[in-house]
Amino acid sequence: MTLYIFFFFLPLTGHLTFVLYLFCFPNSQPLCPPQYAQTVPLPEKSSLSEAPKSEKTPPKPIVLLWFWPENFRFSFSDCKTLMDIDGCSLTDDRSLYSEADAVLIFHKSIKHDSSNLPPSPRPPAQRWIWFHVESPTNTIKIPGLENLFNLTLSYRLDSDILVRYQLFVRETPEEHFEMPRKDKLVCWIVSNNNPYTGTGLRTKYFNELRKYIKITLFGKAYGSFLKYEDYYPTISSCKFYLAFENSIHRDYITEKFNAPLAAGTVPVVLGPPRQNYENFAPSNAFIHVDDFPTPKELAEYLLRLDKDDNLYRSYFQWRRHLEAKPHFVLQNQEFIKPICTACDYIGKHNEYRAPTNIYKWYFS
Ligand SMILES: *[C@@H]1O[C@H](CO)[C@@H](O)[C@H](O)[C@H]1NC(C)=O
């Protein structure tokens, strides 16, 4: 402002102003003329640059978690400590509803009459995120949700907010891969259903396959319940791991596939076609059941690999340049990744998004 006063008065008062200017710089001196310039309207730009520079960063957008999925709670600070995500302010405090920039709504917790959705009126600039990680087979179509959600969060590659386990390019190639010690041939951890009596495709396949090759089972259903800390070591100790999905859908390739890749084991996959798996992992990182006309022939191939170490090792070549990271296995950590990923997204995006017809999209 001092400079501005100077140029403004220079034509009128000439040298005197110049002397005063030098004397008055900084202009707290008692001899200085009154600050006439205060009455002169300043161009907007210069008044902006005069504003005291704030040290504070702008407030982070608020993301309101409307339901705790399956009631598995964690501390929101885990996003920073476990995933290095800090781009939003996460809360489960519903009294912040009208201020929230986005609301994260877990599909499975919505009541069939949708009476437990956030209330009307909905803040006009607020985005709602449809949060769903089950396959379409295991999705209940709750009526009335078709045009409420601006953003989708799921495993599907074409979701707005993508949550899945992916391979990463290594910064430096892995020079030597120490093969974990193996004392079992084929393993399968089944958490829910009884694999002998189920009706799905994977049960049928398993019951055929086990006629020709030994399969070691783990899971609640037969008393060999695995402790969380034994999850990765157990998978590592098997040559092959059955990564059988509970239903067959595009992109529905879950942590069952990530686990053996991260543990140093070869996944044998049953799910969408091989081509879809190859969107997520190199072709020689896994064995697909569709590569064989029958379960018997798959079993024969696995037995052959068991004898041929060079061929078996070729399934680990991808590791030189790529890396699979272990996912969280504790139950109450299951939703950390999707919730933190939503926070990260909202911290980086504020575009308008017209509502999506979620069912038309999800069941397509
Ligand atoms: C979000 O979707 C709603 C309709 O469900 C719409 O009214 C609103 O303008 C959208 N908001 C943004 C910010 O995309």
Q: How many CB atoms lie within 10 A of CB 99?
A: 14
Say whether pLDDT at 139 is over 70: yes
- Among 95, 90, 67, smallest CA distance to 78 is for 90
Question: Which tokens go with 115?
Answer: 């009476």
Model confidence pLDDT, tens digit, residues 176-220? 999 999 999 999 998 766 777 766 889 999 999 999 999 999 987
What pLDDT does 253 receive? 98
What pLDDT does 223 receive? 60
What is the b/e burial string over 50-88, where b = at least 16 CB atoms within 10 angstroms of the residue's CB?
Answer: eeeeeeeeeeebbbbbbbebeeeebebebbeeebebbbb
Please indicate, yes or no, whether residues 337 and 321 belong to a single structural domain of this protein: no
Of 12-26, 93-107, 152-166, 235-249, the range with the lowest mean pLDDT is 12-26
Kindly indicate the confidence band of residue 137, based on its pLDDT and cuts at 50, 70 and 90.
Answer: very high
Find the 352 Cα to ligand 1 centroid distance in Å.
7
What pLDDT does 54 receive? 58
Q: Which structural domain, as residue segments, surrounds residue 296?
A: 171-326
Does a structural domain hold residue 54? no
Q: How many CB atoms lie within 10 A of CB 185?
A: 16
Please indicate, yes or no, whether residues 180 and 320 belong to a single structural domain of this protein: yes
- For the chain, the domain total comes to 2
Please indicate, yes or no, whether residues 214 and 287 belong to a single structural domain of this protein: yes
Across 143-165, average pLDDT: 96
Kindly indicate the confidence band of residue 261, based on its pLDDT and cuts at 50, 70 and 90.
Answer: very high
Does a structural domain hold residue 8? no
Give the atom of ligand 1 at the shortest distance from the alpha carbon of 355: 2
Quick check: CB of 327 below 6 Å from ligand 1? no
3-state helix, strand, coil in the chain (%, to 5): 40, 15, 45
Quick check: CB of 118 below 6 Å from ligand 1? no
What pLDDT does 41 receive? 52
**Strands annotated E in the chain:** 62-65, 89-91, 102-106, 127-131, 151-154, 161-162, 167-169, 184-189, 215-218, 238-244, 266-270, 287-288, 322-324
Please indicate, yes or no, whether residues 307 and 246 belong to a single structural domain of this protein: yes
Residue pair 337/154 in contact by the 8 Å Cβ criterion: no
Quick check: CB of 148 below 6 Å from ligand 1? yes
Say whether pLDDT at 254 is over 70: yes
Say whether pLDDT at 334 is over 90: yes
Please indicate, yes or no, whether residues 319 and 184 belong to a single structural domain of this protein: yes
Model confidence pLDDT, tens digit, residues 37-73? 444 555 554 445 555 555 677 899 999 999 999 999 9
| Catalytic center residues | 134
The CATH number that applies at residue 218 is 3.40.50.11660
Q: Which residue has a Cα nearest atom 12 of ligand 1?
A: 352
What pLDDT does 198 receive? 67
Quick check: CB of 353 below 6 Å from ligand 1? yes
| Average pLDDT of the residues of the chain | 87
The sign of the dihedral angle between the CA atoms of 301, 302, 307, 309 is: positive
Model confidence pLDDT, tens digit, residues 232-242? 999 999 999 99
Does a structural domain hold residue 26? no
Locate tokens 């991808």: which residue? 318
What are the backbone dihedrals phi and psi of residue 187, each rounded to the nearest 5 degrees, phi first?
A: -125, 160
Across 319-342, average pLDDT: 95
Does a structural domain hold residue 37? no
What pLDDT does 233 receive? 96
Helix (H, G, I), strand (E, B) or coil at 151: strand
- Among 305, 298, 304, smallest CA distance to 265 is for 305
- Among 199, 323, 329, 315, smallest CA distance to 268 is for 315
Please indicate, yes or no, whether residues 235 and 88 belong to a single structural domain of this protein: no
